Amino acid sequence: MGFEEATPIQEGTVKYGMEGRDIIGQAQTGTGKTAAFGIPLIEKVDPKNPDVQGLIIAPTRELAIQVSEELYKIGYDKRVKILSVYGGQEIGRQIRALKNKPQIIVGTPGRIQDHINRRTLKLENVQTLVLDEADEMLNMGFIDDINAILETVPENRQTLLFSATMPGPIRKIADNFMKDPVEVKIKSKEMTVENIDQYFVKAHEREKFDVLTRLLNVHQPELAIIFGRTKRRVDELSQALTIRGYLAEGIHGDLSQAKRSSVLRQFKENKIDVLVATDVAARGLDISGVTHVYNFDIPQDPESYVHRIGRTGRAGKSGMAITFVTPREMGYLRIVEETTKKRMTPLRPPTSDEALLGQQRLAIESLKEIVEKNDLNDYRILANELLENLDAVDVVAAAIKSMTKEPDDSPVTISEERPLPSRRGKDNHRGGGGGYKGGRSSGRPGGRSHDRGGSRRGGRDGDKRGGQGQSRSRSRSKFE
C-alpha cells in the first residue's frame, strides 16, 4: 500500500491492538488512525466466520466510506467482507447487503442504531469496537446513540477509542465501557502543524475575493481547499471562482450524497483544482496531495482551524495555509495562534501586476520543463517555418502570453458576512504588513460553523421518525 514507516499514532497503538488491549488514542485526522486500528482489526477477523466481528462508528458518511475503503485495501488478501452503512442511502439496499454476511461494519451512529432496532444488524459476536472521531460525534449530538450501541455489544470485546480532544462525556464513555485502557497521546506539536507554513492576510470583507484570486494565480496550487463559514458562502464562492475561470466545486451538508461523492471523486482525480467546503462537509476527508488551504473565513473556534489546515501537510509532506482576517478579527487571531502554538506570518497579498508577473514566471518554468524533456522532434519543422517569417523573441513572447492566465475582473457576487467579534487585547494592533511570499509552496504534500445550525443537539443520520425523532431529523441536513 506504499507504507514505509509507522506514523506516531500507528507506532503507539498497533502493538497494543495486536495484544488485544483497549486503547484510547488522542490524535487528529490525517495522522494514520485508520491503519492504526485497521491492521489489528483485520488480523483478528476470521474470514470463515460469517458473524459481524468488527464494528467501527464514525461521525459522517464520508468518513465511514473512506474508512471502509481503507480497510478493504488492508484486508484485500484476506478476503474480509466489509460494509459501510450510513444515512442518506436507501436502507433497503443496506439490509440486502447485510444478508451477505459482512465481517466488519463501518457506519454512522444513527444508521447503526436503525439497523439494530430493525434487527437487521446483530452484534452479539463483535470482538472489536472502534469509535473514530469520538469528539466530533459528541459535537454532532450522537452521544445517546453511541451509549445505546455500546450496550448491545458483548462486554468481553476489545474497544479502541480515537479522539482529537477528550471532553468529559468522552472520558465517561472510556470509564464506563473500556477495561484498563492504555492511552496513546500524540503531542500537540506532532499532530497539528509542523509541516505547514501558516500565513494570515488582513483584508476588508469586500476585498477578500479579489485577493484570493490573485493568490491562486500566483500560487498555482495543484490541489487547494477553500473554507467558507456557511453553505451560502460556499455556493457563492464556488460560482464566483467558476466565473473567473477556475475549476472549482463546492461541498456542504445540503448537497445530495451522490453530488458530494461526485465532487470528491473529481477532486481526487485532479479534475477539479479547487474544492470549496464548510467545516462539517470537510471533516474527516482523506484527500492526499492538497498543497494549499485558504480560510476565506476564519473559523469560529480554534480547533476547527487545526482540522482545516490539517487537510494539507499530510504524511510528512509540506503545505501552505492562508487565513483571511478582517480588521475586527485580528484579536481573535491570537486565540487561534495560542491553540496551534505557532504564530502566523503576515502576508501582503500580491497586486494585480505581481499576480500577472507570477503567472508569466510560471509560464516560463513550464516552457523550460517542456524543453528539458527533449520531446519536440515532431514540432521542430513547424518551429523553423515560424522563424522564417517571425522574430524568435516575438515567438517566445507569444508562447509565454498564451500560457499566462490574464487577471480577470469579471463581476461576481459574494455576500458580506458579519465578522467574528474582536477580542480587545495587546494583539489588536497587529497589522497585515510584511513582504509578499509568492510562488509555490516549498514541497508537495501528500468550532462549529454556522453550517451546523443553532442546535447543539444534532439529528440522526437515519430515517425520519415521529415525535422527538422528527424534530431531530430537521437538523440532520445541517451536518450530513
Same domain, 199 and 308: yes
The grid cell for 246 is 477556475
Res 43 pLDDT > 80: yes
Ranking 63-67, 192-196, 281-285, 457-461 by mean pLDDT, the lowest is 457-461
The confidence band for 421, taking pLDDT boundaries of 50, 70 and 90, is low
The pLDDT value given to residue 257 = 76
What is the CATH classification number for the domain harbouring 52?
A: 3.40.50.300
pLDDT > 90? residue 109: yes
Among 194, 187, 163, 138, CA closest to 37: 163
Does the pLDDT at position 363 exceed 90?
Answer: no
pLDDT of amino acid 341: 75
- pLDDT of amino acid 407: 55
pLDDT above 90 (res 128): yes
Report if residue 391 sits inside a domain.
no
- Domain tally, the chain: 2
Query: pLDDT tier at 411 (50, 70, 90 boundaries)?
Result: low
Say yes or no: 177 and 275 in one domain.
no
Q: How far is CA 276 from the centre of its chain?
A: 11
In a domain, 396, yes or no: no
pLDDT of residue 163: 86
Pair 229, 281 in one domain: yes
Report, as an integer, the average pLDDT of 63-78.
90
Report yes or no on 162 lying in a domain: yes
Same-domain pairing of 205 and 183: no
- Given a cut of 50, whether residue 171 has pLDDT beyond it is yes
Where does a domain end: 136, 168, 190? 190
* 183 and 205 together in one domain: no
Residues 256 and 134 in one domain: no
Among 165, 190, 215, the domain boundary falls at 190
Report the DSSP pairing between strands 128-131 and 292-295: unpaired
Would you state the pLDDT for residue 439?
Answer: 43
Residue 102 sits in the same domain as residue 164: yes
* pLDDT score of 9: 87
Residue 410, C-alpha cell as written in the block: 469579471
Q: What whole-number percentage of the chain has pLDDT above 70? A: 79
Residues 185 and 196 in one domain: no
Question: Which helix (H) or strand (E) segment is 354 a member of?
Answer: helix 352-373
- The answer to the question of residue 107 being in a domain is yes
pLDDT tens track for 201-250: 999 888 899 899 889 888 888 889 999 988 889 999 999 998 888 889 99
Confidence of residue 85 (pLDDT cuts 50, 70, 90): very high
Q: Compute CA distances 170 → 135, 141, 162, whole Å.
A: 7, 12, 10
Q: Is residue 365 part of a domain?
A: no
336 in the same domain as 424 = yes
- pLDDT, average across residues 16-21: 92
* Domain boundary, last residue among 190, 217, 251: 190
pLDDT in tens, 181-197: 999 987 654 444 567 88
Judge whether residue 463 has pLDDT over 60: no
Residue 30 has pLDDT above 70, yes or no: no
- Let me know whether 173 and 228 are in one domain: no
Q: What is the mean pLDDT of residues 8-13?
A: 88
Residue matched to cell numbers 480515537: 162
Q: Average pLDDT, stretch 400-412? A: 65
Where residue 476 falls among pLDDT bands split at 50, 70, 90? Answer: very low
79 located within any domain = yes
Q: Please say whether the dihedral angle defined by the alpha carbons of residues 335, 339, 341 and 347, taken in this order, is positive or negative.
A: negative
pLDDT above 50 for 459: no
Mean pLDDT of the residues in the chain: 79
In the sheet with 224-227, reading across from the earlier edge strand, the strands are 248-251, 274-277, 224-227, 292-295, 319-325, 196-202, 345-346
Domain contains 397: no
Residue 315 has pLDDT above 80, yes or no: no
Name, of 351-355, 444-448, 472-476, the range with top average pLDDT: 351-355
For residue 157, pLDDT beyond 80: yes
Q: Residue 224 belongs to what domain range?
A: 192-352+409-452
Within a domain: 468: no
Are residue 281 and residue 425 in the same domain, yes or no? Answer: yes
The reply to whether 28 and 79 lie within a common domain is: yes
